[in-house]
């Protein structure tokens, strides 16, 4: 018998399909009560358009495994942090050409203005070189920045620290 | 409309698993559970004041988001196009939650639509209110102008909003506190992005400097409205669920001084724009640009109040 938690843990992110929702840190809780399941997820960014897709994927997967009644709730608090991406998730990102995030900056009190380009120790996920430069703080999805490697000259995505 | 009208042209492409396809069929309608905004109103909080306060913060985000989204395919370069669209998306997400929260705590603020309309409350608020019912500051509704005007506006708006959201994380309303905690992380990126562009343009060419000076002069007179405390915000602060916008002035001024110093620019010596009939944006008194903006933003939704998307 496959538990609801096991089923939910296998559901992948719609935009980063190499990553499960569990490895992304979006899957908060799975509570099973007979044929009924209550799943709690959290959005990465407030405007994340993938949230409805995540919910539907969870519902479909659980239905397929015989759970008749599935409810998906969204918890906003505490807010998602890129620190919640698991070690396995970080390896999966790197294996697929996406640079995983460093530690998120801790915010306690006013957020200090940063006028210099964000400095991160980013390695090229393709050739491993640390000779990388930021192209833009904003990338193809809300959670990514754009980088390029000055050694192998390939562009790549970096998951931002939040 | 008959349900057959909603068959997606992409139906044949999904390999029988329509849940894998983001367009057309497959996505269920959004609901309150998805927004996570249904918590009860805390004791000691006036629901109408809370709803109005949520509309102020939500309308600021919605209208600014709409203006930024107008840059899509028009920005100076591809990276900036993507950046402005990302900022707009963050703000649209904040607006959705804030308008949905307003509707939950005081359903009386939601426009009444024809029976059977599938339009969720936050969409009814966004697309079926007239200008006089919008509570956003006038700063965010003005025409985009050139890129330097947008940078200047984003700098003033994001600097103020970041300071407000940071304090709002301690709100007595758990939903506002949660929205703020998430928003702080997002808006910190927006503010720093605008600040870096301000410095870049000011220290760039003679032409870029001329433009950013003109951009700051264009938006500066609308700055006052951000920090002017309305009765609703005074109530919000007194009841512990909101922030008195005047209380963040010192922090905002310090950040702006830092950006202007790095840019080698002076503060524009311009008086604030006056009120209209004794009120301003927070009272629903807007500039001419607002009506045109809403006409574009709302026309499709208003033409199909019973439409399914």
Mean pLDDT by 10 residues, chain A (162 residues): 91 92 96 92 85 92 94 90 95 94 83 86 93 91 91 95 88
- Say which of B22, B182, B258 has its CB closest to residue A76: B182
- Say which of B34, B90, B199 has its CB closest to residue A45: B90
Which pLDDT score is estimated for A35?
85
Over residues A122-133, the pLDDT tens digits come to 999 999 999 999
Q: Which residue has the higher pLDDT, B226 or B11?
A: B226
| Assigned CATH for A4-74 | 3.30.300.130
Contact, A24 vs A44, CB < 8 A?
Answer: yes
- Give B252-300 as a DSSP string: HHHHHHHHHHHHT-PPP--PPP--BTTB-GGGT---HHHHHHHHHHHHH
Does the beta-carbon distance from A49 to B30 stay under 8 Å? no
Distance CA A18, CA A92 (A): 6
Helical packing angle, B47-69 and B147-168, nearest 10°:
150
Rounded (5°) CA angle A103-A107-A108: 140
Mean pLDDT confidence for B283-289: 95
- Say which of A46, A55, A57 has its CB closest to residue B90: A46
DSSP E strands, chain B: none
Does the beta-carbon distance from B193 to A138 stay under 8 Å? yes
Contact, B77 vs B48, CB < 8 A?
Answer: no
Contact, B102 vs B76, CB < 8 A?
Answer: no
Could you tell me where the DSSP H helices lie in chain A?
Answer: 4-10, 21-24, 51-64, 87-95
Mean pLDDT confidence for B272-282: 90
Contact, A56 vs A70, CB < 8 A?
Answer: no
Residues pairing with A73 in the sheet: A40
Over residues B128-149, the pLDDT tens digits come to 999 999 999 999 999 999 999 9
Q: Which of B94, B299, B301 is nearest to B184 (CA)?
A: B94
Sign of the torsion angle spanned by Cα atoms B40, B42, B44, B45: negative
Question: Is A117 at the interface with chain B, CB within 8 A?
Answer: yes
Distance CA B8, CA B140 (A): 36
Counting beta carbons within 10 angstroms of the beta carbon of residue B84, is it exposed (0 to 12), middle (13 to 18) or buried (19 or more)?
Answer: buried
Q: Which residue has the higher pLDDT, B23 or A44?
A: A44
Contact, B99 vs B86, CB < 8 A?
Answer: no
User: How many angstroms away from the CA of A128 is the closest CA of chain B?
Assistant: 24
Which pLDDT score is estimated for B276?
83
Q: Report residue B14's pLDDT band, with 50, 70 and 90 as the boundaries.
A: very low
Mean pLDDT confidence for B60-83: 96
Q: In what order do the strands lie in the sheet with A27-33?
A: A27-33, A36-41, A69-74
Domains recognised in chain B with CATH numbers: 44-268+282-303 (1.20.1260.10)
Mean pLDDT confidence for B52-80: 96
């Amino acid at each position: 018998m496959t538990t609801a938690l096991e089923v939910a843990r296998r559901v992948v992110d719609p935009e980063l399909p190499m990553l499960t929702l569990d490895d992304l840190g979006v899957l908060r809780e799975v509570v099973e009560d007979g044929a009924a399941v209550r799943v709690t997820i959290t959005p990465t960014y407030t405007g994340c358009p993938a949230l409805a897709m995540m919910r539907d994927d969870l519902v479909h997967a659980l239905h397929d495994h015989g759970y008749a009644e599935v409810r998906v709730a969204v918890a906003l608090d505490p807010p998602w942090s890129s620190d919640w991406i698991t070690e396995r998730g970080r390896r999966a990102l790197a294996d697929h050409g996406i640079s995983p995030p460093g530690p998120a900056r801790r915010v306690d009190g006013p957020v200090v203005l940063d006028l210099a380009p964000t400095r991160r120790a980013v390695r090229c996920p393709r050739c491993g070189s640390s000779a990388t430069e930021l192209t833009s703080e904003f990338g193809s999805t809300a959670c990514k920045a754009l980088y390029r490697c000055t050694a192998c000259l390939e562009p790549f995505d970096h998951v931002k620290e939040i | 409309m008959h349900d057959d009208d909603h068959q997606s042209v992409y139906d044949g492409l999904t390999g029988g698993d329509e849940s894998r396809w983001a367009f057309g069929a497959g996505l269920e309608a959004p609901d309150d559970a998805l927004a996570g905004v249904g918590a009860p109103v805390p004791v000691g909080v006036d629901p109408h004041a809370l709803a109005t306060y949520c509309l102020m913060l939500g309308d600021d985000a919605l209208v600014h988001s709409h203006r930024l989204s107008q840059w899509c395919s028009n920005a100076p370069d591809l990276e900036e196009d993507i950046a402005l669209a990302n900022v707009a998306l963050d703000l649209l997400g904040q607006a959705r939650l804030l308008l949905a929260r307003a509707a939950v705590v005081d359903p009386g603020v939601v426009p009444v639509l024809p029976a059977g309309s599938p339009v969720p409350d936050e969409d009814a608020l966004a697309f079926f209110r007239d200008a006089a019912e919008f509570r956003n500051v006038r700063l965010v509704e003005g025409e985009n102008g050139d890129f330097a005007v947008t940078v200047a506006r984003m700098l003033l708006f994001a600097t103020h909003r970041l300071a407000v959201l940071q304090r709002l994380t301690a709100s007595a309303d758990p939903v506002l506190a949660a929205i703020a905690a998430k928003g702080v992380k997002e808006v910190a990126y927006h503010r720093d992005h605008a600040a870096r562009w301000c410095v870049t343009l000011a220290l760039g060419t003679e032409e870029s400097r001329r433009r950013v000076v003109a951009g700051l002069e264009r938006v500066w007179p609308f700055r006052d409205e951000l920090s002017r405390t309305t009765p609703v915000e005074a109530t919000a602060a007194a009841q512990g669920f909101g922030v008195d916008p005047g209380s963040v002035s010192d922090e905002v001024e310090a950040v702006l001084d830092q950006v202007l110093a790095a840019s080698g620019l002076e503060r524009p010596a311009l008086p604030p724009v006056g009120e209209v009939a004794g009120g301003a944006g927070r009272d629903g008194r807007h500039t001419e640009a607002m009506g045109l903006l809403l006409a574009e933003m709302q026309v499709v939704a208003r033409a199909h109040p019973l439409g399914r998307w």
